[in-house]
């Protein structure tokens, strides 16, 4: 799970932190500003629904009820995910490769 301080800083630096929400399967530090929704699980890397999102899709964010929903029909979501392929790991070997290969989803505790 990548740290999202760089993208949230860029959004804030452009003065758009009141208009833009960042939705990610990544994580946040204490320096994050604006609407930032992280730890979405299952992750895009696992083929979760976030992997199907495209530029221009409408996302409903209900902060008081802690809910988020993509305005996609079930058929459209299935269609998009049917063509999804897991990206190749960027870790060539060693501990990072083992971690990427063996650790479960963050929604399950990111354990071996």
Active-site residue set: 29
| Pairing of β 67-70 and β 59-62 | antiparallel
| Pairing of β 21-23 and β 59-62 | unpaired
- Report residue 95 as tokens: 């501990």
37: helix, strand or coil: strand
């Amino acid at each position: 799970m990548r740290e999202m301080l760089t993208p949230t800083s860029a959004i804030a630096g452009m003065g758009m932190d009141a208009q833009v929400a960042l939705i990610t399967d990544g994580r946040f530090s204490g320096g994050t500003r604006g609407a930032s929704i992280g730890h979405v699980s299952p992750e895009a890397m696992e083929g979760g629904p976030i992997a199907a999102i495209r530029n221009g899709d409408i996302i409903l964010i209900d902060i008081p009820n802690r809910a988020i929903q993509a305005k996609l029909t079930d058929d459209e979501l299935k269609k998009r995910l049917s063509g999804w392929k897991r990206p190749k790991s960027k870790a060539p070997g060693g501990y990072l490769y083992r971690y990427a290969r063996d650790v479960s989803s963050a929604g399950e505790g990111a354990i071996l």
